[in-house]
């Protein structure tokens, strides 16, 4: 059994499991989950080193996919929806344990090694070091952290998202995300586990590939890699959305997901 923290909604219908991105947590999907819970059994997962789930020694996509597989083994196959880092976890899960993934939704992520070429990728990973550098001894209230972080993260929306990781521990504050591991294994998170997937067959199920119009994570150059691993994909670009497309355009995201699930 996996020790991942789970939040479940809905009592009937097929299963839909959501995997969040870097610095996220399962409840980030709550708006989408509530829209589906009348027709589906929804599970929101806190991935390892995030939210209320346990920390691990290393941050690794194959290991994260194995832990999610343990969740699915308990109750049977599901449609798996993954955003950003969670998108890579979902793709690796579909390739390593295809019998557990009925359908796959990949939100603003590609099966590629981004390296240094995607500015947005480097920026997101860079937030781990920024948070790690924040002097929590100067934080007495959450507003203090917001003020200190504003010096390096001026975007209010991104700053608010990052500060969801701040937890009070007695009289002190700590980070819920395993920032040290994320910084150390940042190149692994930016990469795609090609070697670990050597010899694996492409995933034969249906795939919805959602992209934010202004995001750099999904580009025409990545279509070949997606087709190689997921030949039955359909790509949909959400206009006016960036990387966090499910929070920037929730109605459009939900409508696309409902169509894919056969609800609309």
Rounded to whole angstroms, the Cα distance separating 162 from 70 reads 28
> DSSP letter at 48?
T
Residue of 57, 117, 143, 180 marked active site: 180
Q: How far apart are CA 216 and CA 181, in angstroms?
A: 25
Ramachandran angles phi, psi of 172, nearest 5°: -110, 175
DSSP notation for 186-251: HHHHHS--TGGGTTPPPP-S-EEEEEETT-SSS-GGGHHHHHHH-TTEEEEEETT--S-HHHHSHH
Query: Which one is catalytic: 20, 40, 50, 243?
Result: 243
Active site (annotated) includes residue 243: yes
The torsion angles phi and psi of 14, rounded to 5 degrees, stand at -75, 160
Alpha carbon 112 to chain centroid, angstroms: 15
Q: Which SS3 state, helix, strand or coil, does residue 171 take?
A: coil
Known catalytic membership, residue 213 = no
Is beta strand 233-238 parallel, antiparallel or unpaired with respect to 207-212?
Answer: parallel
Which residue's entry shows tokens 């981004």? 114
Which token pair is 217? 């994570």
Known catalytic membership, residue 14: no
- Backbone φ and ψ of 233, nearest 5°: -100, 155
- Say how far apart CA 64 and CA 136 lie, in whole Å: 29
Q: What are residue 202's phi and psi, to 5 degrees? A: -60, 155
Contact in structure between 83 and 179 (CB atoms under 8 Å): no
Question: Among the options 84, 110, 215, 247, which is catalytic?
Answer: 84
In DSSP terms, 83 is beta-bridged to: 107
Active site residues: 84, 180, 243
């Amino acid at each position: 059994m996996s020790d991942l923290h789970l939040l479940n909604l809905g009592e009937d219908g097929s299963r839909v499991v959501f995997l969040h991105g870097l610095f996220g947590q399962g409840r980030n999907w709550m708006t989408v989950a509530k829209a589906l819970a009348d027709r589906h059994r929804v599970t929101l997962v806190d991935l390892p080193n995030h939210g209320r789930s346990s920390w691990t020694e290393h941050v690794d996509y194959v290991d994260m996919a194995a832990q999610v597989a343990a969740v699915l083994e308990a109750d049977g196959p599901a449609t798996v929806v993954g955003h950003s880092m969670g998108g890579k976890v979902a793709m690796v899960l579909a390739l390593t344990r295809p019998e557990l993934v009925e359908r796959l939704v990949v939100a603003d992520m590609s099966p590629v090694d981004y390296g240094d070429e995607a500015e947005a990728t480097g920026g997101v990973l860079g937030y781990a070091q920024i948070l790690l550098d924040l002097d929590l001894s100067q934080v007495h209230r959450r507003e203090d952290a917001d003020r200190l972080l504003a010096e390096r993260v001026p975007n209010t929306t991104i700053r608010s998202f990052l500060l969801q990781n701040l937890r009070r521990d007695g009289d002190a504050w700590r980070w819920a995300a395993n920032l040290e591991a994320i910084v150390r294994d940042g190149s692994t998170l930016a990469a795609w586990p090609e070697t670990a997937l050597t010899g694996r067959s492409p995933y034969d199920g249906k795939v919805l590939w959602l992209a934010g119009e202004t995001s750099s994570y999904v580009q025409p150059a990545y279509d070949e890699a997606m087709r190689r691993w997921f030949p039955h994909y359909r790509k949909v670009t959400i206009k006016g959305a960036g990387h966090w497309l499910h929070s920037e355009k929730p109605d459009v995201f939900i409508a696309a997901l409902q169509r894919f699930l056969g609800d609309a």
